[in-house]
A and B are shown apart, each in its own frame.
Chain A
Amino acid sequence: MTWKQVFTSSVGKKLVMAFTGIFLILFLIVHAGLNACIWANDGGEMFNKGAHFMGANVVPRILEIGLFVGLILHIVQGLMLELDNRKKRSVGYAVAYSDGSKWYSRSMGILGTLILLFLVLHLSDFWFPNRAHQNFVLGEEIDLYAKMKETFSVLWVVIVYVLGCLSLGYHLAHGFQSAFRTVGVHNRKYNLMLVSLGLGFSVIVTLLFALMPLSFYFGWIN
């Protein structure tokens, strides 16, 4: 079994989804944790310090490259899996079957696409202007806290962000536990634990991220 055969097999493709998915989950923890500094309500001092650490240091910036590679692998493989799987049944059923699975488990491709669309907006709101300001090296950064405040003063942006967070939440509600099954966790006691942990994680991450634009829009922080 060559590496190529492994990673182009159906199980190998799923392993790529799972490992990149778990990597993205780890990223989310860091991202949500750092952004939560806005609630220090100190005019963005703490948040900007954290953001500066991530943006102006070599190590996080090298990790950032890894993040993009992982994200792109996840997106490309995810969309290919979805399209491929759809081709496996050319004649559909007159009466659809929906027992045993949640709607969001059946909609990972659509939820992922929504996240992707959201990411385009999100990166062009913050990441791109900031890196452009730095000339894509380790230059001077913009005041990201002020940028957030400005961005989240527009209602439609806030709504799109909240919807983006919801898509991510449902993606994770399935993805979290699914990823661990994919890498082979089959013990009953862990599976039960991972389902609750996954749902808890999805709810917390969704709430944290969604509350950020809302906090600015409604002036809960200044």
Chain B
Amino acid sequence: MEHYNMNLTVKVWRQKNSKEKGGFESYPVKDISSEMSFLEMIDVLNEQLIRDGDDPIAFDHDCREGICGQCSMYINGKPHGAWKANTTCQLHMRAFKDGETVTVEPWRAGAFPVIKDLMVDRSAFDRIIQAGGYISVNTGNAVDGNALPINKDKADASFAAAMCIGCGACVAACKNSSAMLFLSAKVAHLALLPQGEPERKSRVLNMVAQMDKEGFGACTNTGACEATCPKEISISNIARLNQEYLVASLTADK
């Protein structure tokens, strides 16, 4: 790939706080290297804004290496931008052409209220995890990890589900603002392992109840979530969650 510099117009959502109404502002940025990451481009723009005495754009980020799930930007109509299986922090500017206008929006969902600009409050996900995304572990000596035989296919499927970084792109992409792909990943990765067995039924029932309480929509299996997920979490996890839910609701003691 040849290196090039570009000038862009960044049309970005600005919103002072969760109460005030926001709106789009357009900013020109110059001499952006094709090797920069998208967040570095925003950093350049923010320095420019600070120099001009303006308020820099608030956005979430942490690892900048595609593993924390913090960077949440809806770029040109796609959560995390146009690249497949990719996070915003790993989106590079070679995905854009000189002279382009780039539209950047926050995740949109009632359950993810905007805190400021591109930052949204995703603590609903934390509360869903707290409702059941854990296992019981006895205190005392740690058990030998290899003492418990686990079927390889199940271990692989569990690991694939455990890849979810809780970024919320699935919610942002879903027409129903449903959190089912996220939830299904969290339920499936524990349901597939013997360690997840003790809380298996209560987990799925409680986590679904919490998801509904947080105000996410109901899943209609459209497939938008799977297409946008940076970790390629499979939509078949949702069917697995449905099965877990059906069995648990029919057979749980209470």
Contact = CB atoms under 8 A, between A and B. Distances in A.
Interface of A: 1, 5-6, 9-15, 81, 84-85, 87-102, 105-106, 108, 174, 177-178, 180-188, 191
Given A93-B108, A100-B223, A9 B246 contact: no
A103 B218 CA distance: 18
A182 B218 CA distance: 11
B17 interface: no
Given A99-B173, A101-B223, A87 B110 contact: yes
Given A10-B219, A89-B109, A101-B224, A182 B176 contact: no
A88 B254 contact: no
B110 A89 contact: yes
Interface stretch (B1-9, B43-51, B59-67, B72-80): B72-80
A95 B105 contact: yes
A182 B78 contact: no
B239 A181 contact: yes
Given A9-B208, A11-B245, A101-B224, A89 B218 contact: no
A52 to B, nearest CB: 40
Contacts of A178: 220-221
Nearest to B169: A97
Interface stretch (B89-97, B130-138, B143-151, B209-217): B209-217
A94 B103 CA distance: 8
Contacts of B217: 10, 84-85, 88
Interface in B167-184: 172-173, 175-178, 180
Contacts of B71: none
Contacts of A6: 249
14 contacts: A10-B211, A10-B212, A11-B242, A12-B245, A12-B249, A15-B242, A89-B108, A93-B74, A94-B24, A98-B224, A101-B175, A183-B242, A184-B239, A184-B242
Nearest to B218: A10
B44 to A, nearest CB: 23
Contacts of A187: 236
B205 interface: yes
Interface string B141-170: 000000000000000000000000000000
Contacts of B87: none
Contacts of B236: 181, 186-188, 191
B212 A88 contact: no
A5 B245 CA distance: 12
B254 A91 contact: no
Contacts of A182: 221, 239, 242
Contact of B246 (A15, A92, A99): A15
A106 B78 CA distance: 17
B238 interface: yes
A105 B220 contact: yes
Contact of B110 (A90, A100, A102, A105): A90
Nearest to A80: B218
Contacts of A93: 74, 77, 105, 108
A96 B77 contact: yes
B254 A97 contact: no
Q: Which among B178, B216, B224, B235 has the highest number of chain A CB atoms within 10 Å?
A: B224
Nearest to B74: A93
A71 B236 CA distance: 28
B37 interface: no
Given A96-B77, A182-B221, A186-B236, 10 more contacts: A9-B208, A11-B242, A11-B245, A85-B217, A85-B218, A88-B110, A93-B77, A98-B224, A100-B223, A184-B243
Contacts of A181: 221, 235-236, 238-239, 242
B100 to A, nearest CB: 13
A99 B218 CA distance: 19
A186 B103 contact: no
Given A1-B249, A10-B217, A186 B239 contact: yes
B229 to A, nearest CB: 9
B89 to A, nearest CB: 20
